[in-house]
Structure 1
Amino acid sequence: MEDLSILNINYQLRILKDHVLEIIKNTNQFATHLAKSDSERQKLKNETIANVEQIHKNYEPHIPRHSTPLTEEKHSVKGSLTPFLGENPICAKDIPKLEEWATFSGEGK
């Protein structure tokens, strides 16, 4: 049962990482829009690329890309991740909705 909780947390961390990357991308687009010169825009672009690469480097090895929860029951997440993930973690019932979102957003096949 502990293995299922680890898979669930890993899956949720993958989702959280994707949200962080989306926030970085949106922030960069907004900052680039406000930049006054080409050099400022290029500097922002380079910083964003470096940030995204760092996130991939730090977290990708620890979060299996295709790990999914294997039960219908929701597992509560305790500890420091709860404020980020909320009280209703992802469960197997959510997978079809997530796959539809991933396909729409370009993440899926």
Structure 2
Amino acid sequence: MSIDNLTEKLNKLSISVERFEEKTSSHQKLLLDHVEKSDEARMHLKDDIQSKIRLITEKMDKINEANSNMPKLSTPFSHIRSPVKPKEELTNPFITDLSHQDNNQVLMKEAPQLKEWPTFTGEGEYDHMSFIKTIDMLQEDYAIPD
């Protein structure tokens, strides 16, 4: 081989090495950028996790403090109050049946007195017929109960 040929090969080799170094340095820069970004994201996540842990710890402390203030009872759930039942209020008030008795008293006052009723002597075969007819008529006219 000639020296010229060797020099040319050396030049080509040095050019290819330079290109390779350029590509590697650009890849190295990209890799370093990715590493920095991932470190920033990791630090941000770490801070978020620590703040969440602090919040959870504070809440747990509050719960434990509230539980420590509850009385220690021997039966379970005796410190829990039973639900309050609402008072039953009638929307339609109950009306007593006094009005029926009042009506009967009014009807009895309007009816003829007992002394005006025909008497039943029990003499004769049909003596009771006028007595029964009078009672039936009073029941119909004055709506008197039996």
Q: Same fold (TM over 0.5)?
A: no
Q: Structure 2 length as normaliser, TM-score?
A: 0.24
Higher relative contact order structure (alpha carbons within 8 Å, sequence separation ≥ 6):
1
Q: Structure 1 length as normaliser, TM-score?
A: 0.32
Larger Rg: 2
